[in-house]
């Protein structure tokens, strides 16, 4: 039975996918982003990212369901979690800002997994300061636009069929517009395979005179920054859910290891120092779970914006997950840093969560701003 902020339906979803996601278990068998993309598509989860009227599962995007799915995906395979989440991040601006024609044309295919989206905001000179982006979208004289610029750190690059691209149509924050650009658009070079510390499909995009029609623009000219921030509002808290999944896995691994490994004639689990590590992990996990589910439940309850709640959840859960994984690795001793042990992979995979979709320092700014305004 559900306790706390999730319903029985969420717990049933968790129980159902927990078994199915076992197939994602061995990351080695999924070497290459295309293999991970095929595996995730095969799970048939993308309907959770799109409302029912466009072929999705729920009347709206149920953020708690997205959290449950991210927790269970990240428990098994970090790349699979990222792939799934970025489909949501990339397609949500279509839902929020697209015309009915754009939604009808794109979202049912997103729900079926026939289209795979990415979210292209970050640039070499515009990271935390996203409003400083310089990719340009100039009018082509026939109602359309010509895009020029360079996007970096774009998850799903190489496997995505479509990129939601934020580009400058004017000055300042109000001069940014969003466009849907197909991966095969002439003049777009996709450089996939940025090698990161952890497993994560990611790359760079180079726009050289990429022509898009007026119908590629989402919402009004200048609405791009609002669309980007509203989308991040929905998905930022779910990064905390991915962190929870990785942390829970690390804790399960540490508990099993501590029971199995003997030193000084007894299992490690009998040593008070090891018990302390496991207990601190449990406290971090319990607290992070409540914050992540609270932010999601607040959004599901009808709040228009959950900027503060999502920032609190993301900040605490990702920082806590780093601590949990580190302690779990410590319980494994030398084996913790041996390739092939789950905690070694988790140690590498969890690190990026404190950086993407707004680094921890930026979350603190967001939280402080909410506290001090007025």
Q: Which of residues 298-357 bind ligand FAD (CB under 6 A)?
A: 352, 355-357
Helices within the chain (DSSP H only): 8-20, 33-43, 63-76, 78-97, 100-112, 224-260, 272-300, 307-331, 342-349, 360-372
Read off the tokens for 31: 């070497």
Q: How far apart are CA 353 and CA 344, in angstroms?
A: 16
Distance of closest approach, residue 239 Cβ to ligand FAD, in angstroms? 10
Q: Which residue of the set 71, 204, 309, 357 is catalytic?
A: 357
Nearer to ligand FAD by C-beta: 160 or 274? 160
Active site residue 125: no
Residues whose CB falls within 8 Å of the CB of residue 286, separated by 6 or more in sequence, listed in order:
none
Nearer to ligand FAD by C-beta: 122 or 289? 122
Distance of closest approach, residue 374 Cβ to ligand FAD, in angstroms? 21
Site size toward ligand FAD (CB under 6 A) is 22
Q: Is 368 exposed, middle or buried (0-12, 13-18, 19+ CB in 10 A)?
A: exposed
* Helix pair 307-331, 272-300: axis angle to 10 deg: 160
3-state secondary structure of 176: strand
Residue nearest to ligand FAD (CB): 127
Nearer to ligand FAD by C-beta: 229 or 355? 355
Is residue 153 close enough to count as binding ligand FAD by CB under 6 A?
yes
Is residue 84 close enough to count as binding ligand FAD by CB under 6 A?
no
One residue of 155, 169, 318, 322 binding ligand FAD per CB under 6 A: 155
Is residue 51 close enough to count as binding ligand FAD by CB under 6 A?
no
Is residue 121 close enough to count as binding ligand FAD by CB under 6 A?
yes
Q: Which residues pair with 301 in a beta bridge?
A: none
DSSP 8-state symbol, 123 = B
Is residue 239 close enough to count as binding ligand FAD by CB under 6 A?
no
Run of H or E including 109: helix 100-112
Only one of the segments 134-142, 147-155, 170-178, 216-224 lies at the binding site for ligand FAD (rule: CB under 6 A); that segment is 147-155
Is residue 229 close enough to count as binding ligand FAD by CB under 6 A?
no
> What angle (nearest 5°) sits at the alpha carbon of residue 104, between those of residues 100 and 105?
115
Q: 26: how many CB neighbours lie within 10 A of its CB?
A: 10
Nearer to ligand FAD by C-beta: 17 or 36? 36
Read off the tokens for 273: 């120092």
Is residue 117 close enough to count as binding ligand FAD by CB under 6 A?
no
Contact 86, 119 (CB under 8 A): yes
Q: How far apart are CA 176 and CA 133, in angstroms?
A: 9
Nearer to ligand FAD by C-beta: 145 or 153? 153
Provide the binding-site residues for ligand FAD, judged by CB under 6 A. 86, 119-122, 127-128, 153-155, 196, 200, 202, 352, 355-359, 361-362, 365
Among all residues, which ones are annotated catalytic? 357
């Amino acid at each position: 039975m559900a306790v706390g902020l999730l319903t029985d339906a969420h717990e049933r979803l968790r129980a159902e996918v927990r078994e199915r996601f076992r197939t994602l278990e061995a990351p080695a068998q999924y070497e290459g982003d295309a293999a991970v993309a095929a595996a995730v598509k095969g799970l048939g989860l993308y309907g959770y990212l799109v409302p029912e009227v466009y072929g999705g599962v729920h009347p709206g995007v149920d953020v708690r369901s997205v959290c449950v799915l991210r927790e269970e995906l990240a428990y098994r395979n970090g790349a699979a979690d990222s792939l799934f989440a970025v489909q949501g991040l990339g397609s949500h601006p279509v839902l929020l800002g697209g015309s009915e024609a754009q939604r009808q044309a794109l979202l049912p295919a997103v729900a079926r997994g026939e289209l795979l989206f990415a979210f292209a905001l970050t640039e070499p000179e515009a990271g935390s300061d996203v409003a400083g982006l310089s990719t340009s979208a100039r009018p082509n004289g026939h109602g359309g636009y010509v895009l020029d610029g360079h996007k970096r750190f774009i998850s799903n690059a190489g496997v995505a069929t479509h990129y939601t691209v934020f580009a400058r149509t004017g000055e300042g924050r109000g001069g940014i517009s969003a466009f849907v650009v197909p991966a095969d658009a002439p003049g777009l070079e996709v450089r996939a395979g940025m090698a990161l510390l952890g497993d994560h499909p990611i790359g760079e995009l180079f726009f050289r005179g990429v022509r898009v029609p007026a119908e590629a623009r989402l919402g009004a000219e200048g609405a791009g920054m609002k669309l980007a921030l509203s989308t991040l509002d929905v998905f930022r808290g779910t990064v905390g859910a991915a962190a929870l999944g990785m942390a829970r896995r690390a804790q399960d691994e540490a508990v099993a290891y501590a029971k199995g490994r003997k030193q000084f004639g007894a299992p490690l689990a009998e040593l008070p120092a090891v018990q302390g590590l496991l207990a601190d992990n449990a406290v971090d996990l319990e607290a992070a779970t409540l914050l992540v589910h609270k932010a999601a439940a607040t959004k599901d309850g009808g709040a228009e914006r959950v900027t503060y709640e999502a920032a609190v959840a993301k900040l605490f859960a990702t920082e806590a997950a780093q601590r949990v994984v580190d302690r779990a690795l410590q319980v494994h001793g030398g084996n913790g840093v041996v390739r092939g042990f789950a905690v070694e992979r988790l140690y590498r995979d969890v690190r990026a969560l404190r950086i993407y979709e707004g680094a921890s320092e930026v979350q603190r700014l967001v939280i402080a701003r909410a506290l001090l305004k007025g």
